[in-house]
Structure 1
Amino acid sequence: MIIQQIEIASCAVPLNKPFKTALRTVTVAESIIVKVTCDNGVVGWGEAPPTHVITGDSLASIAFTINNILKPALLGMSLLYREDIFEVITNSVLGNTSAKAAIDMAIYDCLAQYANMSLVQFLGGTTKQMETDFTVSVNSSEEMAGDAKSYVAAGFSILKVKVGKDKIETDIERITAIRDQVGADVTIRLDANQGWQPKEAVRAIKQLQASGMNIEFIEQPVKAHDLQGLKYVTELTEIPIMADESVFTARDARGILEIGAADMLNIKLMKAGGIHEAIKIAKLAAIYDVPCMVGSMIESKIGITAAAHFAASQPNVKYYDFDAPLMLSGDLIEGGISYEASKINLEEGKGLGIRQLNETYVVEKLA
């Protein structure tokens, strides 16, 4: 099981509708796709989308890191000594978590195939059906309420509503309009993407609770670095608070858990640098009895399939945010996870179950 070849390509799939948050607007899902080939013919797949406002990674930096740093360090290494491989991935370059994640998931894909297991089985979990939310992008109250109604009609009972881009009073108007449109039975969770200040966040959250909006939890209400502000909001409000952009590594998670800065953690492979570090975060959170969600960036089914297999393997992961492939106008791959409206199914085959890349969306082969 020697790593014989690492190839990358730049891919792009248009979105059906622009994806808008407090941090950015996305119209095309761009990513670097990684293909790792071993000497026994096993092929593993990985993906790294550029999310510069969160991870700091661009298409160019991802491609450079893989081709010029990770690839030379990993070629010729044996996957049977996987801890050595993950140590090389972690220590060969600072940051660059998306590039690391793409290589990491491709390695795990190869390992699971070699073991003749699906990745979730290889990670010690069982194949199960998961339910994803669907994200309502930041727009006018009327448009967001209309979008929410259409997603519920399409079979989604959990909505993740983006806020934090404008005045907090405008956010409350948006949430109220959505709740009025979808009724009381639909689960609503909020994601402020660091867009609120601690004191105004507390005021808004208390107002939402008093008005009966029935919010399940709120992601990252304050700036990622402001752990004291995050702790302030968590302690002074009753709706659970989830840390997202504040959590990249297990060390970050420990800092949050030790001071009780959040009630929940959002683990993303692109922040953690892959499954290897993500497992550490999930296990650490379990020690503190803090539940986790596994989320994603705007990714294709390659990255989401890897995230879903990881999520299904961890008992402490209770929530799933895997709607990104449903936002795309086409499918980048054949195989991987499948959807039945909001329900996600994992394939029973080997590894990630990815059979081939759809060349229609390949912009350029870079190696």
Structure 2
Amino acid sequence: MRIERIEAIPYAIPYARPLKFASGEVTTADHVLIRVHTDTGIMGVADTPPRPYTYGETQDSIVSVVNKVFAPQLLGLDPLDRSKVQQILRRTVHNPTAKGALDIALWDIIGVALSTPVHKLLGGFTDSMRVSHMLGFKPAAELLAEALRFRETYGIDTFKLKTGRRPLSLDIEACHVLREGLGADTEIYLDANRGWTANEAMEVLRRTEGLGLSMLEEPCDAGEAMGRRRLVQHSSIPIVGDESLSTLGDVSRELLSGGSSGVCIKTARSGFTEAQKILGLCEGLGVDVTMGNQIDTQVGSLATVTFGAAFESSSRRAGELSNFLDMTDDLLAEPLEIVAGSIRVREVPGVGAEIDPDKLKKYRQQ
């Protein structure tokens, strides 16, 4: 079996409402669908989310690097030669989500070729993941109303609060209102998207002490090395690295230097192959992980479920899997469902992301 052709298809699907957070705002899923074709007729599928304010990638840059740099080097290779593929991808710096999607598409091919679900090839620990829902920038009362609605409708009882606003009082008030309204047993954690300084983050932790918050993700820029280490040393909850931990090397550096005490794994930027290595490093060091979301479509969320459910340590916490509910449509032929607060893996060969051809025709941009 050989790689015969690679497609990078730009498409755009509007969000029902803008998603706002400290490092940017998203109004449209202007993503790139990756399809890797083999000479046996098997095709692997993955989704690529451009995030210029996080990784520097745009829709145009992803299409260009896949078509002009990666595809010419990968054509003719056996999809099973994953280490050889990784070595080729590493020659080009950055471009994490383009690399991640190619890797996921190759795993999809392998699963179909072996007539086995990819979540079983990876580890097969469980068949579903609990869902965490992301709450964006809104007044505290509206945040609570949204959380209660998602708990009632979907059974979700873990919420990630996007913070990093100024004045700090807006986020602090939201924490108190959510805890009072949702009760003591609901998990609430924060993600500041580098919106604060390390000192501001310490002030927020001081003023929310006793609320039972479970984690604080990317409170400040990792470049604030001394402040970030001081924050980790004095925090009673994990300080989770996300944007600062795009690669295995980044994770190693931040954990060993004391800049983070938890790790957010996102398959959109690491694929399955590097995500396995990151997870193994965290397991060896006794560091908790959470499965994050790159404001993913259902295709991307399915990839996260596939990886997260495969391992015990990545399935302990609820994964961030519900952003697709804010989209006006999706490309999946069979939509994902959140039932009793969880999403199940697809028990079919590969990852199971079958694309609706009519929807792709409708939303593709070239």
TM bin (shorter chain)? over 0.9
Partner of 2:61: 61
AA at the equivalent of 1:302: V
Residue 231 of structure 2 corresponds to residue 260 of structure 1? no
What is the CA–CA distance in structure 2 between the aligned matches of 1:145 and 1:224, rounded to whole Å? 30
Aligned length: 362
For 2:258, give the aligned amino acid.
G
Q: Is the 8 A contact 1:14 1:28 kept in 2?
A: yes
Q: Which runs of 4+ in 1 moved over 6 A?
A: none
Shift of 1:248: 0.9
The aligned counterpart of 1:34 is 34
2:280 corresponds to 1:283: yes
Is residue 345 of structure 1 aligned with residue 344 of structure 2?
yes
| Matched residue, 1:102 | 101
Amino acid at match of 2:235: T
Query: How many angstroms does 1:267 deviate by?
Result: 1.0
Question: Per-residue displacement from partner, 1:230-267 (whole Å, max 9, x unpaired)?
Answer: 22111112122111111011111111221333221001
Q: Give the counterpart letter for 2:280 in structure 1.
A: K
Q: Structure 1 residues 364, 329: closer, same or farther in 2, change over 3 A?
A: closer
Aligned partner of residue 297 in structure 1, secondary structure: coil
Q: How does 1:123-142 map to 2 (within 5 A)?
A: 123-142=122-141
Q: Deviations over 1:292-316 (max 9, x none)?
A: 1111211212222122211222332
| Separation of aligned partners in 1, 2:264 and 2:69 | 28
TM-score (norm: length of structure 2): 0.94
- Which letter does structure 2 place at the counterpart of 1:304? S
In the TM superposition, what are the counterparts of 1:21-170 in structure 2 within 5 Å?
A: 21-91=21-91, 93-154=92-153, 155-170=155-170
Q: Bigger CA drift: 187-196 or 76-85? A: 76-85
**Matches of 1:345 and 1:65, distance apart in 2:** 33
Q: CA deviation at 1:325?
A: 1.9
**AA of the residue aligned to 1:180:** E
Distance 2:246 2:225 in 1: 13
Residue identity matched to 1:322: L
User: Of residues 217, 237, 240 in structure 1, which corresponds to 2:235?
Assistant: 237
In the TM superposition, what is the alpha-carbon distance from 1:130 to its structure 2 partner?
1.0
Match of 2:223 in 1: 225
- Change over 3 Å in CA distance of 1:147–1:338 after alignment to 2: closer
Report Cα offsets for 1:138-171 as digits up to 9, x if no partner: 1222322222222222221111111102221221
- For 1:142 and 1:124, locate their aligned partners in 2 and report how far apart those are by CA, in whole Å: 41
Residue range with higher mean Cα deviation, 308-317 or 132-141: 308-317
Judge conservation of contact 1:152–1:182 (CA < 8 Å) in 2: no
SS of equivalent residue, structure 1 residue 88: helix
RMSD: 1.8
Question: Counterparts of 1:168 and 1:203 in 2: how far apart (Å)?
Answer: 9
TM-score by length of 1: 0.93
Choose 315-324 or 197-206, whichever is displaced more.
Answer: 315-324
Any conservation in 2 of the 1:3–1:39 contact (CA below 8 Å)? yes
Cα distance in 1, alignment partners of residues 334 and 230 from structure 2: 44
What is the CA deviation profile of residues 256-298 of structure 1, one whole-angstrom value per residue up to 9, with x for unaligned ones? Answer: 22133322100112333x2221111111111100011111211
| CA separation of 1:118 and 1:335: change in aligned 2, threshold 3 A | farther
**Contact 2:232–2:260 (CA<8 Å) still a contact in 1?**
yes
| Contact map agreement 2:198 2:224 (CA 8 A) in 1 | no
Counterpart Cα distance in 2 of 1:365 and 1:222: 36
In structure 1, runs of 5+ residues without a counterpart are none
- Whether the aligned pair in 2 keeps the contact of 1:227 and 1:256 (CA below 8 Å) is no
Task: Report the Cα offset of residue 24 of structure 1.
Answer: 1.2
- Cα distance change, pair 227–275 in 1 and its aligned pair in 2 (3 A): farther
AA aligned opposite 2:95:
N
2:99–2:269: 8 Å Cα contact kept in structure 1?
no
Structure 1 residues 180-329: aligned runs within 5 Å: 180-209=180-209, 212-272=210-270, 274-317=271-314, 318-319=316-317, 320-329=319-328
Separation in 2, partners of 1:65, 1:341 = 40
